[in-house]
Amino acid sequence: MIKSLAFAVASTALLSGSALAHDAPGGGEGAKITLVYDHKLPNVPGKSMKGVLVEYAPGGFSEGHTHPASAFIYATVLEGAIRSQVNDGPVTVYSAGESFSELPGDRHGVSENASKTKPAKLLAVFVVDTAEQELTYPTKK
């Protein structure tokens, strides 16, 4: 069910004509972040579902970051492989078709393309307070 939802959002996101792209918040090289879906949840007042496409060039990465305290995130790798670490857990490589989640308050210490020669993409689906405009905050060093 969740994988179907993620792929449905991914399909909708990739077909969306109103996507907004910008550089990765908190720095990072070779990272492009695009908000591809933003929809209020009609059965959960005050909450929205937001789809974010993260595209990493070969060797690309995002700096360590957190997300809003209200955010639950389900991420699916669409292309290539992503190296990720959430909180103090192990650094894990996820390949195309694999998923991971982040709970409210989690810290994302590693988020990068696992390859130096091939691009990678992931779709992060947020369930977050509708009022949240900024979805990523750099961690303080």
Which tens digits make up the pLDDT trace of 20-51?
A: 444 444 346 789 999 999 999 999 999 999 99
Secondary structure of residue 55 in the 3-state scheme: strand
Distance, CA of 41 to CA of 48 (rounded, Å): 5
Give the global pTM: 0.79
Could you report the per-residue pLDDT of 69-94, keeping only the tens digit for each? 999 999 999 999 999 999 999 999 99
Question: What burial letters (b/e) apply to 108-127, b meaning 16+ CB within 10 Å?
Answer: bbebbbbbeeebbbbbbbbb
Distance of CA 116 to the CA centre of its chain: 20
How large is the greatest C-alpha to C-alpha distance in the chain, in angstroms?
A: 44
